[in-house]
Amino acid sequence: MAESVDIRELNVRIEQQSGFVTNLSMGMNKVIVGQKHLIDMLLISLLSDGHILLEGVPGLAKTLAIKTLAQLVDASFSRIQFTPDLLPADVVGTMIYSQKDEKFQVKRGPVFANFVLADEINRAPAKVQSALLEAMQEHQVTIGDTTFELPKPFLVLATQNPIEQEGTYPLPEAQVDRFMLKVLIDYPTIEEEKLIMRENLLGQLPTVTPVTSADEIIRAREVVEQVYIDEKIAQYIADIVFATRYPDRYGLGELKDLITFGGSPRASINMAKASRAYAFIKHRGYVVPEDVRAIAHDVLRHRIGLSYEAEAGNVTSEEIVSKIINKIEVP
C-alpha cells in the first residue's frame, strides 16, 4: 500500500513541477507549425540531459526549433555551421597571445552555451566532430592546459541532411551512439504548409518571451529522476534492447541476418531515461509501456547496424525496430 501512496504524492509533485512543460510546448507551437513529435523530443532531451541528432531535408525549421527553445528557456544559444575546413579550435576555443599583457589568453568557442546547434555535423572532418562529442560526453572542454566546465543545462542539437552525401563525413557508429535520440523530420501536411505560407507572407513572426529559467529546468530534472519505473517496465526495455542483439531468442530469426550489431547498454539507459521524461511531459509519476513504445524508435534508430543484406533488401532500422516492438510482449 505504501507504494500507491508514494505514487500519488509523486503525481502531485509532478503536476506542480511540470506546469512549465505546457508553457514551453505552447511557446513552441506559437512559432513552429506542426512538428509535434520534434517538440516532444526536444523537451525529453532537455529534461533527461541528453543530446539530439536531427535528420531532415533543409528548410524544415530545425534551426528555428532550437532557437525558439533557447529563447523560451532564457538561456544562451550558439550555432556552429560545420564546413569541411572547420577546425576543433573553431568549436571549443583556443589560446590567443595578447601583446598588451604579454601572455596567452583563453578565447572561448561557441560550444560555451546552454543550447548548441551543430548544423550539418556530417560536413566537418572527424577531428572536429570528436571535439564536439567530447564536450557532449564530459560536459567539459580543455583549452591549453585548463579545463572548463560547460554551462548547465547543456544541450547539443546536431542536424544532418540525408540527401547530399557528396563531400560528407558520416558520423562513426561510436559517436552516433552518444546521441540520446535521433529524430527524423518529415514534411508538414498540406494544411500546415498553407498556414506556414500565410504566416510568412504576413511577415508576423510571433515574439518569443521566456517562460522558464535554466534553474527551473535543473529542478525539473531532479523530479524526473524520481519518476517510478516498475520492474516489469525495466524488463520490457531490456527485452527490446536484447532483441536487437539476439533476435532469434525472441522468435525473430528473420532479423538475424539483417543486423550486424544491436543496441549497446547506452540504449537501455537512454530508453529508461527518455520514457521517464516522456511520462513527466504527460504529467504522470510512473512509466507505462506506451511511454516506452513512444520513444523506442528515436532511441534505437541509430544504434542498430544494418548488414549488406538489409541494405540490399532496402530494409531500414525503422522497420526492424517496429518488428521488435510488435513482437515483444507488453507487460
Give the pLDDT of residue 190.
Answer: 93
Task: State pLDDT tens for residues 38-78.
Answer: 889 999 999 998 999 998 888 888 888 888 888 888 888 89
Considering the domain architecture, whether residues 175 and 251 belong to the same structural domain is answered as no
Find, among 186, 182, 184, 185, the residue nearest to 302 by Cα: 182
Considering the domain architecture, whether residues 164 and 64 belong to the same structural domain is answered as yes
CA–CA gap between residue 246 and residue 185 (Å, rounded)? 30
- Checking if the pLDDT of 27 tops 60, the result is yes
Average pLDDT, the chain: 87
Of the CA atoms within 13 Å of residue 6, those in its CB half-sphere come to 8
Considering the domain architecture, whether residues 91 and 155 belong to the same structural domain is answered as yes
Query: Residue 4: which pLDDT band, with cuts at 50, 70 and 90?
Result: low
Give the pLDDT of residue 1.
Answer: 34
Considering the domain architecture, whether residues 194 and 232 belong to the same structural domain is answered as no
When mean pLDDT is compared across 172-176, 189-193, 222-226, 291-295, the lowest value belongs to 172-176
Considering the domain architecture, whether residues 194 and 107 belong to the same structural domain is answered as yes
- Checking if the pLDDT of 297 tops 90, the result is yes
Whether residue 22 is contained in a domain is answered as: yes
Instruction: Tell me the CATH number at 110.
Output: 3.40.50.300
Considering the domain architecture, whether residues 47 and 184 belong to the same structural domain is answered as yes
Give the pLDDT of residue 2.
Answer: 43
Q: Answer whether 128's CB lies under 8 Å from 169's CB.
A: no
pTM over 0.75? The answer is yes
CA–CA gap between residue 22 and residue 25 (Å, rounded)? 5
Average pLDDT score over residue span 179-197: 90
Give the pLDDT of residue 41.
Answer: 92
CA–CA gap between residue 40 and residue 23 (Å, rounded)? 13
Domain count, the chain: 2
Identity of the amino acid at 231: E
Domain boundary among 188, 217, 246: 217
Query: Residue 270: which pLDDT band, with cuts at 50, 70 and 90?
Result: very high
Q: DSSP label at 78?
A: E
Task: State pLDDT tens for residues 104-139.
Answer: 888 899 999 999 999 888 888 888 888 888 888 889
> Residue 311 sits in which domain range?
227-327
Whether residue 4 is contained in a domain is answered as: no
